[in-house]
Structure 1
Amino acid sequence: MPDSTAAPRLDTVAVAAGDPHREQPWQDLGLKADEYSRIREILGRRPTSSELAMYSVMWSEHCSYKSTKVHLKQFGELAQETPLGKMLAGIGENAGVIDIGQGYAVTFKVESHNHPSFVEPYQGAATGIGGIVRDILAMGARPVAVMDPLRFGPLDAPDTQRVLPGIVAGVGGYGNCLGLPNIGGEAVFDETYLGNPLVNALCVGVLRHEDLHLAKASGDGNLVVLYGARTGGDGIGGVSVLASETFDAGPDGQGGPAKRPAVQVGDPFMEKLLIECTLELFAAEVVAGIQDLGGAGLSCATSELASAGDGGMHVELDRVPLRDSTLAPEEILMSESQERMMAVVEPGDIDAFMAICEKWDVEAVVIGEVTSSGRLEIDWHGERVVDVPPRSVAHDGPTYQRPYARPDWQDVLQAEVAEELVRPSSGDELRDTLLRLVASPNLCDRSWITDQYDRYVQGNTVLAQPSDSGMIRVDPDTNLGVAVSTDCNGRFAKLDPYAGAQLALAESYRNVATSGARPLAVSDCLNFGSPEDPAVMWQFAEACRGLKDACAELGIPVTGGNVSLYNQTGETAILPTPVVAVLGVIDDVTKRVPSHFVAEGEQIFLLGETREELSGSEWAHVVHGHLGGRPPRVDLAAEQSLAALLQDASRDSLVTSAHDLSDGGLAQALAEATFRRGIGARVMLSKVAGGDPFVALFSESTARCLVTVPEDRAGELLALVHRHGVPATGIGRTGGDSITVDGQFELPVAEAKAAWQATLPAALGS
């Protein structure tokens, strides 16, 4: 491959049009025959190699949502048909933006970086954090916190031992260097994630209403500026495989450099400079439009900015600063090198823009300008290598109506109910079951992971792991804040994807409510197997339909999200994993409610109704290795009533703790509530689940919460639950140093906590 300063050998527009017989590597780039034909139809000629590169990455599943957009459109329709919340920006932008009052807005989004994190765990996870942070930054917001919903294979599997430490180190290393607190997330283990770990990354940002920025290139003659890190060969193939002799061949057509690595390499210190530089550029009002460079790199930034603006842009590609002079124009367009942004700047503001970049030691180069041509035109050393309608690249990609059908095995799966499994019948057996569950991989202490994250940097963290949700103070003067939670139980989604998505939403919604916050908005990361499998597409379609219906009933919008497909090894797809993030607002963070017991002698109440619902439960999974039956019943009206009650209780400083009941049921909630301060509890279960202590302890019925209240305020709580129509059962008091279930067993808190804490260190090392 020649040096980039030499006259390159490449397909120009003229060559492409005049050389109709030379075969092009469209298959190697992931394009289908009909897609390649469509590109030729759009252009009225053969695409150049640079155009082919752009279309291949922008029409990939990752960028175009070609298999899923027919199902995703219902979330946009939901926002249009129903006035849900105060959404300032939503689907189609880099991230959703929600008005939280007092002139503040919050932007948040969750995305995936699954496959790169399997190939190279540290950099895959690190650049997942970096990418989602830039999405938030591009909206005009200061990033203030991150979260990391993670999924792995069995804890004792050799490949889990390989990927988990690297992924956790990558999340922590990048986020810590940026000075962003990691306030929550998940770590779930299941055999279906073996070979397909899920690394979902969430970021929250804060802005004033007037600081909102959108990704568009408008204003004929405005300048296009690329700033941040130089472009390298890392990340090529991140969204589409670069495996072509055409791209690798040298001037003689034989050989060439090795394939570029597909996983991006992150530099968090460069990103920190980029964040501060960009925020100062916003404050100086010298940015007319902005876009981060993530998936598909320059191909995405140029085409999306032009398509969302006046429709025209001219770029001189050879002006792009490179850290590898051998890169061909196709590779420059496809590179997903990190820590880069693209801004549209009015000519009169360019000197001020450049001065701010120089102050922060951020390299910035004018690489083009906005035009009124309606075309995206890219030149390389004087040769026109791209001349396309930008919308055809960015927004008018293929749309597939993938066949989907309820699989034959679904009825068999649902018929194998966990309620018929052998269950403990004595107090000793119940005690042993509780100990086994708290020490299980999905319920054990996460400190091995979260201790690698800085949860309190910046000084605005109010709640973080192991609380039900993370909470950040937005305004130090008024104590306005936001709470965020992510959740998904893939076993529930396997049993019933429609209900499973709703259950993921319900638990995140409840986790936010237990802190005292009011749920406002949703972002999702929909992780599934191959869309070419009709059963997987049915799961996806059902999950989307379930999430949309639940959001409509709860009155909260989906502001944006991400889809990750092909999470599959051979014929084995991952559990359908529609991760749902819910963001809520709290007027005064000093009124937040912790999830652990805070004092002895307080009354313990169980809010909500407990039913015999064990299918898909952690008990069935851990004790019996069983998955079958139907998941717990979704009751969104009950979730709303419970959330409203918890918000009132927080506002009035009525309850001293609140812990949602979900995985592991009441037993897990009780145990976790005792661990933080070592305050035990004595409970009686005769009024729960018809007096069946096993069902009372291990059922995973929804819309339930454990709360504590001072003795002298119990009457106020009962009046409040009556007003909201929420069932409430007094089950005991806090105190002592044991978890005691009257008539069944006594378990020292220290013994339970030791079992809870031992699992991850034993498997992963100290």
Structure 2
Amino acid sequence: MTSAATAPSTDTVQHAAASPEHPQPYRELGLKDDEYARIREILGRRPTDAELAMYAVMWSEHCSYKSSKVHLAYFGETTTDAMRERMLAGIGENAGVVEIGDGWAVTFKVESHNHPSYVEPYQGAATGVGGIVRDIMAMGARPVAVADPLRFGPADAPDTARVLPGVVAGVGGYGNSLGLPNIGGEVVFDTGYLGNPLVNALCVGAMRTEDLHLAFASGVGNKIILFGARTGLDGIGGVSVLASETFGEETGRKKLPSVQVGDPFTEKVLIECCLELFHAGLVVGIQDLGGAGLACATSELASAGDGGMHVDLDAVQLRASGMTPAEILSSESQERMCAVVRPEDVDAFMAVCRKWDTLATVIGEVTDGERLVIDWHGETVVDVPPRTVAHEGPVYRRPVARSDRQDQLVADTPDRLPRPAAPSELHAEVLRMAASPNLCSRAWVTDQYDRYVRGNTASAQPADAGVVRIDESTGRGVAVATDCNARFVALDPYAGAQLALAEAVRNVATSGAVPLAVTNCLNFGSPEDPHVMWQFQQAVRGLADGCAQLGIPVTGGNVSFYNQTGERPILPTPVVGVLGVLEDVATRVPSGFRRDGDTVVLLGDTRDELGGSEWAHVVHGHLGGRPPVVDLAAEARLAALLARAAADRLLTGSHDLSDGGLAQALVESCLVGGHGAAVVLPPLDPFVALFSESAGRVLVTVAADKVDEVLSRARDAGVPATVLGTTGGAALAVEGLPELPLAALRSAWEGTLPALFG
């Protein structure tokens, strides 16, 4: 192990001022000519190597949101005062925080780790979990659960076989080691993700409202303490292209990959250390070290504070010899936090860190100036206005244009596709769909995750929403769901984003929770493609308008651009996470048919809507037409009905209708609950009744003596309700179709992923 003081001298501010024509590799670091020129204008000279590294990583798309800011502002424009009432922290903080009652607050956020997970699947996914957990820690909360929305290329593609097992093992390996239950997420397969999988990670944390902490460096003379793991060469280049020998001479060191290397056991100790520091009142401000590492933590803390900051890189504890200032500042080594601490509290802070065997070092202090000054080996290597690094980067108004290919896509409706009509054909189609990669059991994946560690998980996969208890004395808890049908978004980005929101709200509502807040992870192709920017703009506006209509605020999120293989972008994928509140998790509604003799009721209307459907995708490889109509007022009525019925214990089971329509909802309800059913389809074309993916529908089961009450409440709420049949037996019996024994359904549903991935 080494400290920074042993490394050689490098480019200083004094040297930079004296050598204005010194060539610098700014293009290799992802900076444009005009961006480099602007940096020189800001500084009044050329930047030092360390300054250039800081600007490069902080002005990247990942950190600066330079192509998305102009569109993301719409979230703020559409958020009303009423939506803000329960928000303690929102967009711009490490994670959103909302009050949930009884003095409790919950923080949650979803972020992407797509590109690292393609390069090195295990570590890319593992450190994605670690990074989002630290975002939650930085708010002052204890992480209580994680979830993982995942998307891959075709299930039978060789590259999927390479990537998926490592990603799943990384998610499980890190989360399980932290002792955090994995309560939700998705696994989706589509050609659109071949060569560019999406690995999004969500974390939920809980705290008392008075324990909220924010990221700012305030109070002249307060100390800056870096604590957690040592800083190494791993992770350099995580948010920009920064090779270890980009600056200075070739060192002969082994070049480490740009993907971070995680240590969940170090992070587990760091969680407990942070919580004790918070509870002891020893922290003024705090920031985790994720993307852009120390460059981000120092510049963001200083920028959000009321003064400047001085940092001495010689004090940074390293785990590699010969690291340059640029490398130290840009390293994304995991399990590190940066805290602002009053001088009189430093000894107590260090004592807590020693107790938890956590390395901690004072690396600087808050100053009364307006500059971020960083020294190295006795000389100044960084002297910048911190806001220009952290918050005043480039802002682009990229060209936005709807491509002609969108018209072609919409015009290619699924009406031309041959539909099964004979009972035997419909029977075969139900089995085929149940065994398809996007509809089959996810147990091969979820069995690798610990879903019930800590004992507070009330529901987890395969439930529609994960439910975790927050307050053990009252039973108060939260439900979380993530959703996005990217095919719907491709067909109509505005409506598709609202459909993702509606499905996530509906999944939370099926548990009995009241939807309260939204987070998002907006995964798109290159922002330099006008059609991609049109998709992005429309999706943002659709999501923001939808949240405004439902009265549910967006509390934060993430944008991930440049998700494409060559010139082919991924399907536009705005993943939406919704958090809801249950007064008592004992009232949650389980998924599936849990007992014999209950009445099966379909809530909501079914229409002939197959555009972007799973049936069109699985059977015909087709994508075209228009997505289902989204009616957010109807979704709100349905959600309210479900929450009230759950609180009054009127429902014995609940399952939303989405991918695969009613057919798949019936199959999953039978298999998850372990009981069959005899049902009569609604008075429609049987194919439409079974496979339409109309939104705003939920399948519920009700005890026989409660049916009239539920139907009456549905009428009063303006929610269509149709009695389909009764649960019981060892088969799914749909009138007019050959019987489907549960054993045959289970064989089809559970066999696909193990056959593909071993």
Do they fold alike, i.e. is TM over 0.5? yes
Q: Is the 8 A contact 1:267 1:339 kept in 2?
A: yes
Q: Is the 8 A contact 2:3 2:317 kept in 1?
A: no
SS of equivalent to 2:751: helix
SS of equivalent to 2:83: coil
Specify the code of the residue in structure 2 equivalent to 1:591.
Answer: T
Specify the code of the residue in structure 1 equivalent to 2:480.
Answer: V
- Give the match for residue 726 of structure 1: 719
SS of equivalent to 2:508: helix
SS of equivalent to 2:591: coil
- Give the match for residue 630 of structure 2: 634
Structure 1 residues 695 and 246: CA distance shift in structure 2, 3 A: closer
- Give the match for residue 124 of structure 2: 124
Q: Is the 8 A contact 2:4 2:313 kept in 1?
A: no
* 1:143 is aligned to 2:138: no
Alignment of 1:95-106 (within 5 A): 95-106=95-106
When normalised by structure 2's length, the TM-score is: 0.99
Aligned Cα RMSD in Å?
Answer: 1.2
1:4, distance to aligned residue in structure 2 (A): 4.8
1:84, distance to aligned residue in structure 2 (A): 4.3
Q: Is the 8 A contact 1:105 1:206 kept in 2?
A: yes
Output the CA distance in 2 between the equivalents of 1:120 and 1:7.
Answer: 29
- Give deviations 1:73-111, integer Å, cap 9, x for gaps: 111223356534510100110000000000000000000
Out of 375, 382, 385, the position equivalent to 2:381 is 385
- Give the match for residue 68 of structure 2: 68
SS of equivalent to 1:736: coil
- Give the match for residue 740 of structure 2: 747
Output the CA distance in 2 between the equivalents of 1:258 and 1:656.
Answer: 60
Q: Is the 8 A contact 2:730 2:741 kept in 1?
A: yes
1:22, distance to aligned residue in structure 2 (A): 1.3
- Give the match for residue 34 of structure 1: 34
- Give deviations 1:670-728, integer Å, cap 9, x for gaps: 0100102431111111xx2x421110010000000001111111111111101111000
* 1:548 is aligned to 2:544: yes
Output the CA distance in 1 between the equivalents of 2:526 and 2:364.
Answer: 39
Alignment of 1:287-686 (within 5 A): 287-685=283-681
Task: Name which of structure 1's ranges 278-287 and 79-88 shifts more when overlaid on structure 2.
Answer: 79-88
Specify the code of the residue in structure 1 equivalent to 2:612.
Answer: G
- Give the match for residue 200 of structure 1: 200
Aligned-pair identity (%): 70
1:245, distance to aligned residue in structure 2 (A): 5.5
- Give the match for residue 275 of structure 1: 271
Task: Name which of structure 1's ranges 287-296 and 595-604 shifts more when overlaid on structure 2.
Answer: 595-604
- Give the match for residue 687 of structure 2: 694
Alignment of 1:130-169 (within 5 A): 130-169=130-169
Output the CA distance in 2 between the equivalents of 1:570 and 1:590.
Answer: 50
Task: Name which of structure 1's ranges 86-95 and 417-426 shifts more when overlaid on structure 2.
Answer: 417-426
Task: Name which of structure 1's ranges 162-171 and 256-265 shifts more when overlaid on structure 2.
Answer: 256-265
Output the CA distance in 1 between the equivalents of 2:296 and 2:263.
Answer: 21
1:404, distance to aligned residue in structure 2 (A): 1.2
Structure 1 residues 386 and 662: CA distance shift in structure 2, 3 A: same
- Give the match for residue 286 of structure 1: 282
Specify the code of the residue in structure 2 equivalent to 1:215.
Answer: A
Task: Name which of structure 1's ranges 215-224 and 81-90 shifts more when overlaid on structure 2.
Answer: 81-90
Output the CA distance in 2 between the equivalents of 1:734 and 1:402.
Answer: 55
Q: Is the 8 A contact 1:189 1:441 kept in 2?
A: yes
1:258, distance to aligned residue in structure 2 (A): 4.9
Structure 1 residues 7 and 237: CA distance shift in structure 2, 3 A: closer
Specify the code of the residue in structure 1 equivalent to 2:643.
Answer: Q
Output the CA distance in 2 between the equivalents of 1:42 and 1:280.
Answer: 41
Q: Is the 8 A contact 1:84 1:556 kept in 2?
A: no
Output the CA distance in 1 between the equivalents of 2:32 and 2:190.
Answer: 33
Q: Is the 8 A contact 1:499 1:634 kept in 2?
A: yes
SS of equivalent to 2:257: coil
Q: Is the 8 A contact 1:248 1:257 kept in 2?
A: no
SS of equivalent to 1:342: strand
- Give deviations 1:140-189, integer Å, cap 9, x for gaps: 00000000000000111111000100000000000000000000100000
1:7, distance to aligned residue in structure 2 (A): 6.6
Output the CA distance in 2 between the equivalents of 1:294 and 1:7.
Answer: 24
Output the CA distance in 2 between the equivalents of 1:260 and 1:80.
Answer: 47
1:243, distance to aligned residue in structure 2 (A): 3.8
Output the CA distance in 2 between the equivalents of 1:307 and 1:80.
Answer: 27
Output the CA distance in 2 between the equivalents of 1:87 and 1:390.
Answer: 27
1:419, distance to aligned residue in structure 2 (A): 2.8
Output the CA distance in 1 between the equivalents of 2:145 and 2:160.
Answer: 27
Output the CA distance in 1 between the equivalents of 2:287 and 2:6.
Answer: 30
Q: Is the 8 A contact 1:249 1:256 kept in 2?
A: no
Output the CA distance in 2 between the equivalents of 1:23 and 1:163.
Answer: 39
Q: Is the 8 A contact 1:28 1:244 kept in 2?
A: no
Q: Is the 8 A contact 1:248 1:258 kept in 2?
A: no
- Give deviations 1:336-362, integer Å, cap 9, x for gaps: 000000000001111110000000000
SS of equivalent to 2:736: coil
- Give deviations 1:548-577, integer Å, cap 9, x for gaps: 110000000000000111110112110000
Output the CA distance in 2 between the equivalents of 1:339 and 1:586.
Answer: 32
Q: Is the 8 A contact 1:620 1:626 kept in 2?
A: yes
Output the CA distance in 2 between the equivalents of 1:514 and 1:714.
Answer: 17
Q: Is the 8 A contact 1:3 1:326 kept in 2?
A: no
Task: Name which of structure 1's ranges 722-731 and 102-111 shifts more when overlaid on structure 2.
Answer: 722-731
Q: Is the 8 A contact 1:484 1:583 kept in 2?
A: yes
Q: Is the 8 A contact 1:463 1:471 kept in 2?
A: yes
Task: Name which of structure 1's ranges 77-86 and 450-459 shifts more when overlaid on structure 2.
Answer: 77-86
Q: Is the 8 A contact 1:294 1:338 kept in 2?
A: yes
Specify the code of the residue in structure 2 equivalent to 1:699.
Answer: S
Ranges in structure 2 where 5+ consecutive residues have no aligned partner: none
Output the CA distance in 1 between the equivalents of 2:455 and 2:252.
Answer: 52
Q: Is the 8 A contact 2:517 2:579 kept in 1?
A: yes
1:603, distance to aligned residue in structure 2 (A): 0.8
SS of equivalent to 1:188: strand
Output the CA distance in 2 between the equivalents of 1:279 and 1:84.
Answer: 27
Specify the code of the residue in structure 1 equivalent to 2:160.
Answer: T
Q: Is the 8 A contact 1:655 1:710 kept in 2?
A: yes
* 1:713 is aligned to 2:709: no
Q: Is the 8 A contact 1:222 1:346 kept in 2?
A: yes
Output the CA distance in 2 between the equivalents of 1:275 and 1:324.
Answer: 25
Alignment of 1:246-285 (within 5 A): 246-250=246-250, 256-285=252-281
Number of equivalences: 757
Q: Is the 8 A contact 1:82 1:552 kept in 2?
A: no
SS of equivalent to 1:9: coil
SS of equivalent to 2:247: helix
Out of 715, 724, 730, the position equivalent to 1:737 is 730
* 1:211 is aligned to 2:211: yes
Output the CA distance in 2 between the equivalents of 1:677 and 1:303.
Answer: 52
Q: Is the 8 A contact 1:28 1:243 kept in 2?
A: no
* 1:111 is aligned to 2:104: no
Output the CA distance in 1 between the equivalents of 2:754 and 2:609.
Answer: 32
Ranges in structure 1 where 5+ consecutive residues have no aligned partner: none
Specify the code of the residue in structure 2 equivalent to 1:759.
Answer: T
